[in-house]
Amino acid sequence: MAKVADKYLKVDPWAVVEEGFDPARNRVSESIFSLGNEYMGVRGYPDEGYSGDSLVGSYFNGLYEEMKLGAHYKGIIRRLRFMANAVNWLYTRIEADGETLDLAKSTFSGYTRRVDFRTGVYERQFIWHLASGKSIRITFERLVSMTQSNLGGQRVTFESDDFEGDIHIRSGLDFSPIHEDQGKNLWDVTERGQQDEWTAIVAKTISTGNRLISAFTLDTSSGATTAIVEDDKKVMQAFKLTLKPGQLSYFSKLAVNYAEKDTRVDAKSLWDKGIGLAQAMPIKTFNDFLVDQAAYWTQIWETSDIAIEGDPDNQQGIRFCIFQLYQTYRGDNPGFNIGAKGLTGEAYRGLAFWDTETYCLPFYLFNNPKAARSLLEFRYRSLPNALERAKEVDCKGAFYPIATIDGTESCDLWQHSNLQLQVGTAVGYGIWHYVKVTGDKTFLHAQGMEMLLQLCRFYESRGQWGQKTGQFGYYGVMGPDEFQLMVNNNCYLNLMAKNLFEYTLQAIQEMRQDVPESFDRLTERLGVTEAEWKGWQRLADDMKIPLDEETGVYEQHDGFFDMPHIDIHSIPVTDFPLYHNWSYDRIYRYDMIKQPDVLMFMFLYNQQFSLESKRANYEYYESRCIHESSLSPSIHSIFAAELGKHEEAYKFFEFATRLDLDNYNRNTREGLHTTSIAASWMNIVYGFGGMRSDGPDGLVLNPSIPSQWSGYSFKFLYRGTVLSVKTTQSDVEVKAVSGDPVQVRLYGRDCTIDAAGVRLELEAARVG
């Protein structure tokens, strides 16, 4: 399954840079040059309109439309919600000398596109050659504010040595883009108008009635007079800029967007809310905006940077990942989750999966705990949906959806939405991990415990007792390895549920001690009796965990060891991805797996298992895994590093940070692999850095270093302290960059880390 890079972009430690324009790669670049701020995201598409291949993607977190499904049977979902594409607030049309700028038709040169990680600025520049022989240099800048969620900004600058005349511009807001998958536009425009210096438009999604008000104001270098133009699903201002040789002309636009999902809010209130937000915006000019944004990013890099010496590709790659993770989620807007593609494309319909708690949460736990908590709050807010969904499938408690935007199940493949039960256990794991790392008991008592109780109810009601074994487990399920479609006693699920029951029981004991009245109020409200929760102990005790005692290998599910064998290296490379090239049913009948399943719980509960156990299972399952999920290689790399297989660890890491930058999977055009990006952070910190956060002894670090690197360092936040871990080929230095001293277990030694830090020799076995 050798992946091949499509090298195209320029390598730079602090930016993504495109030099020259390749129409065939434009969509890929649009994904890579996406900007976002958790509240909204916008792909790097041309502001000025482009008749070539482009996806004008502007997205707002949690804003959704829905489609009806022709469901056959009870318990199979009947409608599916997906992320709506929304207003193009960068809408711009430019004319000069009677020519309309369009890179698919116009003549141009000197094209560059760039996003700088230290400033957050997107900048695109080229020289437009007019038919007259004259030329205009145009620079497009844009920003999506990291401090003001509703705010986006744009500046377009014109400069020429030989052109003198008017440039005709229309700039505004456009709700007309087509949603590709649906093949239609999703919006009805309900209002358009002006108030003071703001021009605004309100639209709502046709089926769900999600609304968005978008308002903009313009500033031009010449104080030009503008005229409102309404057209189709747009509102614009038309104006002209007079350009003289050697003199800069520009216009800048601030756009304020406000999304409203509550259908009870009346039209006037919504209008007032949107305009009110716009008028109160503390950032008034594009220049202020640049300053504010750069300040934000400077601060981020001080606590979250990863530096790699001797490997410029991965240096750029990992900073791109960190940059995107902050753009995707920062916990300032409660009720949001992370879609598989973040806010950078429409693939996977903008839905969030179990990736959130298993792959993304660690990054936020160690960089932005507020964001980590906010992710768990999404699950708390959608608890009513999960309760409802459990009823639909004849179960009790909370059944969290395998794919969702608003908390409702939105995966239209019943085999996934009805058989994959792993999200709930991931939520339980996330609560456990969050509380363990942050010590935030307030969250546990106010929200976490309620989820845990409803989760246990679900995993009690969905489980069954084996007739022959007399053990408890889950029948008719699909595990994380989606190549085994409907199996019994998936080891991952059974083990996760066992841990869920055990953690809940332990948390109950603690909560009853700490805040007994809260616990009683909660259980009374939920109708959870002592007999009920005490009964969970037996389920945990009797949970079937299939293990071959002789080899130490866990059996992925009942009968897996008898599954017909296939040598995965014998599969022709042209057969990949198998989902496209093999009959759907064929994929499911081998001892071949798509992504870690047994290894996944060994990753999540790493310290429950001995090194020998991890080695046995790694060797068995790694040789059967084809990694048809971008999430897979990083987990394997982390194990390889732990097992001292350093070359293998680097091999699996090889395309982690640059999966999108080098378009390894050839589908970056659909959007970034956002949750894989989170895994690449883990790959360095958990893999090479040897961090473990799941054990009983606090934070563990066992750094190693790939032979390809001369050194690397990473920073992270732990219990209020920013720690830095620097590793070279000879030694490791851990110190507190800011904050109080904290305890860390380094190479098995308990160390107090303060500003002076601790320096140890790199452990021999760990040298790559």
d(CA 192, CA 198): 11
> 487 or 600: whose CB is closer to a second copy?
487
**Which is nearer to a second copy, 415 or 729 (by Cβ)?**
415
Taking the complex as a whole, the smallest distance from the CB of residue 487 to a second copy amounts, in Å, to 8
Q: Decide: is 469 part of the binding site for a second copy (CB under 8 A).
A: yes
Residue 583 in the binding site for a second copy (CB under 8 A): yes
Q: Which stretch binds a second copy (CB under 8 A): 12-20, 326-334, 522-530, 573-581?
A: 573-581
Do 179 and 206 form a contact (C-beta atoms < 8 A)?
no
For a second copy, the binding residue among 75, 165, 276, 757 (CB under 8 A) is 75
Residue 419 interacts with a second copy (CB under 8 A): yes or no: yes
Alpha-carbon dihedral sign for residues 179, 184, 186, 188:
positive
561 binds a second copy (CB under 8 A): yes
Cβ proximity to a second copy, 117 vs 472, nearer residue: 472
Query: In the bound complex, what is the minimum distance in angstroms from residue 464's beta carbon to a second copy?
Result: 4
Under 8 Å CB-to-CB from 325, ≥6 apart: which residues? 360, 363, 364, 367, 674, 677, 678, 681
Out of 38, 174, 346, 591, the residue judged to bind a second copy by CB under 8 A:
591
764 touches a second copy (CB under 8 A): no
757 binds a second copy (CB under 8 A): no
Query: Residue 758 interacts with a second copy (CB under 8 A)?
Result: no
The window from 336-344, 414-422, 513-521, 535-543 that contacts a second copy (CB under 8 A) reads 414-422
Sign of the CA dihedral running 395, 397, 403, 405:
positive
Instruction: Burial-class residue 390 by CB neighbours within 10 Å (0-12, 13-18, 19+).
Output: buried
Among 184, 244, 589, 666, binds a second copy (CB under 8 A): 589
Instruction: Tell which one of 582, 605, 609, 747 touches a second copy (CB under 8 A).
Output: 582
From the list 183, 223, 246, 564, which residue makes contact with a second copy (rule: CB under 8 A)? 564
Q: In whole angstroms, what is the distance from residue 367 CA to residue 358 CA? A: 16
CB-nearer residue toward a second copy: 521 or 586 = 586
- Residue 476 engages a second copy in binding (rule: CB under 8 A): yes
Q: Does 585 bind a second copy (CB under 8 A)?
A: yes
Q: Which is nearer to a second copy, 513 or 574 (CB)?
A: 574
DSSP readout, 7-45?
Answer: --SBP-TTEEEEES--GGGHHHHHHHT-EE-SSEEE---
Rounded-to-integer distance, Cα 664 and Cα 117, Å: 22
Q: At what angle do helices 383-392 and 449-461 cross, to 10 degrees?
A: 10
The piece of 209-217, 252-260, 392-400, 652-660 that touches a second copy (CB under 8 A) is 392-400
Q: Does 68 bind a second copy (CB under 8 A)?
A: no
Of 481 and 591, CB closest to a second copy: 591
Task: Number of helices (H) and strands (E) in the chain: give both, helices first.
Answer: 21, 30
Q: Of the ranges 116-124, 239-247, 458-466, 720-728, which one interacts with a second copy (CB under 8 A)?
A: 458-466
Judged by CB under 8 A, the stretch of 137-145, 422-430, 575-583, 608-616 that binds a second copy is 575-583
Work out how close the CB of 636 gets to a second copy at its nearest, in angstroms, rounded to a whole number: 22
Backbone angles phi, psi at 142, to 5 degrees: -150, 160
Which range, of 110-118, 256-264, 578-586, 719-727, touches a second copy by CB under 8 A?
A: 578-586
| SS3 category, 193 | strand
Of 564 and 696, nearer to a second copy (C-beta) is 564
Cβ proximity to a second copy, 516 vs 559, nearer residue: 559
Q: Kindly state the greatest CA–CA separation across the chain.
A: 88
570 binds a second copy (CB under 8 A): no
Strand duo 742-746 + 700-701: pairing: parallel
Site string for a second copy, 481-520 (x = CB under 8 A): ----xx-x--------------------------------
User: What ranges in 468-577 are assigned the alpha helix state H?
Assistant: 491-514, 516-526, 530-541
Q: Identify the residue among 1, 17, 238, 393 touching a second copy (CB under 8 A).
A: 393
Which 8-state DSSP code applies to residue 253? Answer: E
Residue 287: other Cβ atoms inside 10 A: 13
- Residues, the chain, total? 768
Question: In the bound complex, what is the minimum distance in angstroms from residue 498's beta carbon to a second copy?
Answer: 18
Beta carbons within 8 Å of 583's beta carbon, 6+ residues apart? none
111, 475, 576, 609: which one contacts a second copy (CB under 8 A)? 475
Phi, psi of 146 (to 5 degrees): -85, -10
70 vs 696 by CB, closer to a second copy? 70
Q: How far apart are CA 543 and CA 530, in angstroms?
A: 21
The smaller minimum CB distance to a second copy, of residues 462 and 645, is found at 462
Q: Which stretch binds a second copy (CB under 8 A): 73-81, 230-238, 340-348, 613-621?
A: 73-81
The total of other beta-carbon atoms located within 10 Å of residue 521's CB is: 11
The DSSP line for 599-627 is HHHHHHTGGGS-HHHHHHHHHHHHTTB--
The answer to whether 450 and 376 have CB atoms below 8 angstroms apart is no
DSSP 562-583: GSPP--GGGS-GGG-SHHHHS-
Interacting residues with a second copy between 284 and 323 (CB under 8 A): none
Helix axes of 286-304 and 312-328: crossing angle, nearest 10 degrees = 120
Question: What are the phi and psi torsion angles at 468 (to 5°)?
Answer: -90, -45
466 lies in the binding site for a second copy (CB under 8 A): yes
Q: Does 588 engage in binding with a second copy (CB under 8 A)?
A: yes
Contact with a second copy (CB under 8 A) among 579, 707, 755, 761: 579
Kindly state the smallest distance separating residue 247's Cβ from a second copy, in Å.
Answer: 56
Among 584, 707, 759, 761, binds a second copy (CB under 8 A): 584
Contacts with a second copy by CB under 8 A lie at: 72-76, 392-395, 413-415, 418-419, 464-469, 475-476, 485-486, 488, 558-559, 561-565, 579-586, 588-591
